[in-house]
Amino acid sequence: MKSKINYPRGTDKAKVIKVIVTESAIGNGTKEDPARLIYQYWDLKGRLLAKHDTLKDEEVI
């Protein structure tokens, strides 16, 4: 009997959409609150979709 191999699924669907990307400097420059950039992604109706804090770029995954 052959063993069945399960492969991980790939992406089922992808599309290109229009979003507004903002870049803001945040933080006060202290060790507890370092200065950094934050990117925010908004839809065209002004709703926040996602944000990316560059402080987290230094974390090892």
Q: Are 27 and 54 in contact (CB under 8 A)?
A: no
DSSP state of 44: T
pTM of the model: 0.68
Q: For residue 44, tell me if it sits in a domain.
A: yes
pLDDT at 44: 97
CA distance 16 to 34: 34
Strand partners, 11: none
Q: For residue 61, tell me if it sits in a domain.
A: no
pLDDT at 8: 81
Residue with tokens 């090892």: 60
Q: For residue 6, tell me if it sits in a domain.
A: no
Q: For residue 1, tell me if it sits in a domain.
A: no
Q: Which tokens is 58 given?
A: 């230094």
Q: pLDDT band for position 59 (50/70/90)? A: low
Domains held by the chain: number:
1
